[in-house]
Structure 1
Amino acid sequence: MKAFKSLSNIAAALFFCMVVAMPVAASEGDVASISDLENLLGDQTDVQSLEGSFEQGKYIADLDTTLDSSGRFEFDADTGLVWNIQKPVATLLKISGEEIVEEQDGEVVMRMDVDDQPMTQAISEVFFAIFGGDWQALSERFSIHTLQKEAPWRFELKPKGDMLKSHLKRVELQGKDYLNQLVLEETNGDRTEIRLHDVKAR
């Protein structure tokens, strides 16, 4: 559970929130094929590295409160995602295909092998797919529904497997040239929202 919370904090705490939220009650929309996504998203499907800033808000249902954070991120398809939280507490999260590392004041405070946590591994793969535009990998974990084709495009992801379904209700993605907004709704009522700014391919 701690691993899942760390990742949803990427999506805070992601990978992984935003101050301005998307409407939640969206219609399911058309099921999108991989070719539909690639034709619509263009360069997003070939992203190797991205960087930018983020604002993130994590609504915790049990406490009826939202935890806000902000900072910068860097994604590289080969090495992984670096989530540099600058406010309210400086924290560095590094997510690769093998492990998740959390650092504070230059010291490692948490290290976890993704293979040891199937749920964490699944969420890690989802974020790699989202940031890297690997829609084929994404379609293996989720059914993908088109909410809006014209810019800004919007898609809804619904988990396929029982493991993801037990934790995650839905994910909504929005973007134009690149992904710029992400909403994760968990089955326990928690909600993570992320807005990405000044996103640039490197």
Structure 2
Amino acid sequence: MSRLWRTLGVLILLSVFAPVAAAADVDLVKQRVAKVGVLRGDFTQEKQVTGFKNPLRSQGRFVLAQDHGVIWTTLKPFPSEVVVTRDRILSRQSDGSTRVELDAKQQPAMRSVNAIMFALMSGDAQALSAQFTVKVDALPNNGWKMQLSPRSAMLGKVFTGLKLSGDRYVREVEITEANQDVTRIHFASMSETPAALSAEEGGKFE
């Protein structure tokens, strides 16, 4: 995930902002997706690399805090943690060592990385439509799916398309890269409680 955020941050500076998606599309997702301060859940990630038979799999848990950022904790196959804030991306390894991967003081695009990452995980169609052409379909039981196509040629050199689907929450994200590698992320066991970060969670953003 950190590689994806890093790439997005660089390209956002180079891409051209375009008009947002059709209001009806944006409104549909706005009405169906929950707006919560803190959301916790589990994830499973599968990446199919071109030329390899078996996909790369990982799983773990996440904390999405609207006022702070995201804690992305991989449990399998190798423990690690990525913490994304407004100003930086931190990578923590299983031995407790920490490495600053991106710092907004050195790379101002970091602030845009945060915005795009939040938009993907929260299903914010309006934010995503600044960089992608957005098509939204309504599904039964308050469900929806969203297809994203890059607006700029520069962004198209990295992604050929993204797909999101969900209901009250984003449930699945599929990312197809220009080299045809495909990453699928499934979110489960989402919880809006407790509504505040624990002391341990809050400390990770400091």
Q: Same fold (TM over 0.5)?
A: yes
Is the Cα contact below 8 Å between 1:146 and 1:154 reproduced in 2?
Answer: yes
How far apart, in 2, do the equivalents of 1:146 and 1:98 lie? 31
Residue 168 of structure 2 is matched in structure 1 by 177
TM norm structure 2: 0.74
Distance apart, 1:3 and its partner CA? 5.6
Residue 146, structure 1, aligned to residue 136, structure 2: yes
3-state SS, counterpart of residue 140 of structure 1? coil
Structure 1's 68 and 121: CA in aligned 2 closer, same or farther, altered over 3 A?
A: farther
Note the aligned Cα RMSD (angstroms).
Answer: 2.8
Residue 14 of structure 2 is matched in structure 1 by none
Residue 162, structure 1, aligned to residue 161, structure 2: no
How far apart, in 2, do the equivalents of 1:140 and 1:32 lie? 8
Residue 38 of structure 2 is matched in structure 1 by 49
Could you list the runs of 4 or more consecutive aligned residues of structure 1 that deviate by over 6 angstroms after TM superposition? none
Distance apart, 1:160 and its partner CA? 1.1
How far apart, in 2, do the equivalents of 1:192 and 1:56 lie? 7
Number of residues paired by the alignment? 178
3-state SS, counterpart of residue 179 of structure 2? coil
| Range 62-71 or range 159-168, more displaced | 62-71
Distance apart, 1:43 and its partner CA? 5.5
1:44-99: CA deviation from partner (whole Å, max 9, x where unpaired):
26333211001110111144441100010000112111110000100001112221
User: What percentage of residue pairs aligned between the two structures are identical?
Assistant: 26
| Range 102-111 or range 32-41, more displaced | 32-41
TM norm structure 1: 0.75
3-state SS, counterpart of residue 180 of structure 2? coil
Structure 1's 4 and 187: CA in aligned 2 closer, same or farther, altered over 3 A?
A: same
Residue 3 of structure 2 is matched in structure 1 by 4
Bigger radius of gyration among the two = 2
3-state SS, counterpart of residue 67 of structure 2? coil
Instruction: Mark the runs of 5 or more structure 1 residues left unpaired by the alignment.
Output: 9-30
Residue 93, structure 1, aligned to residue 82, structure 2: yes
